[in-house]
Chain A
Amino acid sequence: AQKITQTQPGMFVQEKEAVTLDCTYDTSDQSYGLFWYKQPSSGEMIFLIYQGSYDEQNATEGRYSLNFQKARKSANLVISASQLGDSAMYFCAMREPRNPRPWGYQKVTFGIGTKLQVIP
């Protein structure tokens, strides 16, 4: 079974500073995917970044980068130049190997989340 661990219930960061949100995972699968989602108080889950288990380079999307250390089974999210609008819950998630096509669905498991608050 897959397991996602986020050990930081809450984090504070000064505006314009960088922050790292921790995520470790456990799986026996060789093929898997890792995601980070942001959930503001409005409730919508917003996709931030994806890392495939076979990707050799760390994923980057604008101010977001994923520090992927496969041997340590960690997938930390780095947010550079924090903004007030970054205040939200952040969930690390992992998908199981994709079901054979044409079905195409997969199960995604979420960690318990980290609440990030950006201080002006």
Chain B
Amino acid sequence: DTEVTQTPKHLVMGMTNKKSLKCEQHMGHRAMYWYKQKAKKPPELMFVYSYEKLSINESVPSRFSPECPNSSLLNLHLHALQPEDSALYLCASSPRGTSGRVDTGELFFGEGSRLTVL
């Protein structure tokens, strides 16, 4: 079982809707990520949060609004999306590298939220 939980697993929304994707981890990781993956493409980084602060925004359109309310939760708020935003949205977290294990920077992924915009 994955230790990063994403909800919902599937979401269908219209272009005028407002919805949110949620990601939760209880591994004590202080870096959390949102990736977008289109069909038959690799994941592309959208946002990185470190210690609940936005550290990287890869020039993502403002219709995607991330939020990190605490060290375990990461949200992605969606508003006025376009059909081309339909994709698998993957959340990931990574440890700080002080737990004694080899500091690989490994990303721990959730199962993703599959979004369809009509």
Contact = CB atoms under 8 A, between A and B. Distances in A.
Interface residues of B, number: 34
Nearest to B88: A43
Contacts of A101: 96-98
Chain A interface: which size bin? 20 to 34
A110 B45 CA distance: 9
B66 to A, nearest CB: 14
Contact of A102 (B41, B44, B51, B112): B51
B104 A52 contact: yes
B89 to A, nearest CB: 10
Given A45-B107, A47-B108, A108 B45 contact: yes
Nearest to A95: B105
Majority-rule SS of B interface residues: loop
Nearest to A107: B45
Contacts of A50: 102, 104, 106
Nearest to B98: A101
A104 B97 contact: yes
Interface of B: 2, 30-31, 33, 41-45, 48, 50-51, 55-56, 88, 90, 92, 94-98, 102-112, 114
